[in-house]
């Protein structure tokens, strides 16, 4: 008799995209095991907590980018919006932790709203609309900051948002995890998640089904902006200053994380959990490179790390293209 695989396993084997998402998780696990076997203190408490504290910012913008790309759009403004959010949060930090977080996140929310309105009302391509917002956000941040870093208030509890722990875990990591749990619930278990996927699959078909495409798209860009602003708040609280020139290249990390997680750049398909795995995989890759530099066998500068990031993005785009071609053949 021939053994028959369980139904869930058969569905996974027949679904190339599901296999690609599991591949990201397996690659992440393999990289963790490699680092544990090769480097001393790789899985030490200090390295793990530092890794999560710092990379929470990038994971947050990757989450927002995931929803935007699922709709078939792109948000190139997340780095500039994060820089703007950090400056606004730094200025508001003197009024307390809540004021700083609200101001920085609110600045991002406003930028996202403008992005959404420009895309939906003015019918400007997302690439152009968010590129314009990126330039405007950086310019506004530099104007507000006077072309220099803006120190946060050390007289309030604002810096605890980026530097302190809660239950032995970094507060930024708690924020990151909470955001991803909410994002996962929204996409996988709420009607709005199915509507977002439907819009990404076909805007015309979504309109025929009676969906308010413009409202959904605007909401998605607002969420991306708010998460970028929140990342800027963490940046200011973690480093003690608003950074108007930070955020350069953050949008590339976010896009790479989403693509590595199996989300289609053409929209209609995506996974919050796989995006989280993709963000952690890319961040961990650079953590491994830093440990390798410490061994003295190789010495890779930040420029080489950018090359590797670009190579990873190209590799996974090619994999996506092959998967799409295979599905069309089927």
pLDDT of 184 reads: 96
Phi then psi for 157, rounded to 5 degrees?
Answer: -90, 10
pLDDT of 300 reads: 66
Number of C-beta neighbours around residue 136 at 10 A: 16
pLDDT of 40 reads: 86
Strands 150-151 and 241-242 come out as antiparallel
pLDDT of 314 reads: 77
pLDDT of 326 reads: 57
Domain chopping of the chain, boundaries? 44-329
Give the separation between CA 58 and CA 77, rounded to whole angstroms: 14
Task: Provide the β-strand partners of residue 166.
Answer: 169
Give the separation between CA 217 and CA 202, rounded to whole angstroms: 13
- Please, are residues 48 and 298 in contact by the beta-carbon 8 Å criterion? no
Q: pLDDT per position in the chain (330 positions), as tens? A: 434 444 444 444 445 555 556 778 888 899 999 999 988 888 999 999 999 999 999 999 999 999 999 999 999 999 999 999 999 999 999 999 999 999 999 999 999 999 999 999 999 999 999 999 999 999 999 999 998 999 999 999 999 999 999 998 999 999 999 999 999 999 999 999 999 999 999 998 999 999 999 999 999 999 999 999 999 999 999 999 999 999 888 998 899 899 888 888 888 888 999 999 999 998 998 888 888 776 656 666 667 767 776 776 677 667 656 665 555 555
pLDDT of 10 reads: 42
Task: Provide the β-strand partners of residue 165.
Answer: 170
Q: What is the pTM of this model?
A: 0.89
What residue ranges in 110-172 does DSSP mark as E strands? 150-151, 165-166, 169-170
Q: What is the CATH number of domain 44-329?
A: 1.10.3470
Type and span of the H or E element at 151: strand 150-151
pLDDT of 287 reads: 86
pLDDT of 23 reads: 75
For tokens 């710092």, name the residue.
54
- Please, are residues 32 and 283 in contact by the beta-carbon 8 Å criterion? no
The conformation of residue 226, written as its DSSP 8-state character, comes to H
pLDDT of 6 reads: 43
């Amino acid at each position: 008799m021939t053994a028959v695989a369980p139904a869930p396993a058969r569905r996974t084997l027949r679904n190339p995209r599901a296999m690609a998402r599991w591949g990201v998780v397996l690659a992440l696990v393999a990289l963790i095991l490699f680092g544990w076997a090769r480097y001393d203190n790789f899985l030490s408490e200090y390295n793990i907590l530092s890794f999560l504290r710092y990379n929470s910012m990038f994971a947050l913008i990757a989450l927002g980018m995931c929803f935007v790309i699922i709709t078939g759009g792109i948000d190139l403004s997340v780095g500039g919006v994060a820089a703007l959010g950090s400056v606004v949060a730094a200025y508001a930090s003197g009024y307390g932790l809540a004021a700083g977080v609200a101001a920085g996140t609110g600045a991002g929310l406003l930028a996202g709203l403008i992005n959404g309105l420009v895309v939906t009302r003015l019918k400007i391509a997302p690439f152009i609309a968010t590129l314009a917002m990126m330039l405007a956000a950086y310019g506004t941040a530099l104007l507000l900051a006077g072309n220099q870093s803006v120190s946060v208030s050390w007289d309030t509890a604002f810096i605890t948002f980026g530097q302190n722990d809660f239950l032995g875990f970094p507060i930024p990591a708690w924020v990151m995890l909470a955001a991803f749990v909410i994002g996962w619930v929204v996409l996988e278990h709420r009607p709005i998640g199915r509507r977002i996927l439907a819009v990404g699959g076909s805007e015309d078909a979504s309109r025929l089904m009676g969906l308010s495409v413009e409202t959904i798209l605007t909401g998605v860009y607002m969420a991306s902006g708010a998460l970028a602003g929140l990342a800027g708040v963490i940046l200011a609280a973690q480093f003690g200053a608003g950074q108007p020139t930070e955020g350069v290249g953050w949008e590339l990390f976010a896009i790479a994380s989403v693509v590595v997680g199996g989300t289609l750049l053409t929209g209609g398909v995506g996974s919050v959990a796989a995006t989280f795995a993709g963000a952690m995989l890319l961040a961990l890759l650079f953590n491994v490179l830093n440990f390798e530099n410490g061994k003295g066998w190789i010495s890779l500068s930040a420029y080489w790390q950018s090359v590797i990031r670009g190579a990873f993005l190209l590799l996974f785009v090619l994999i996506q293209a092959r998967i799409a071609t295979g599905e069309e053949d089927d």
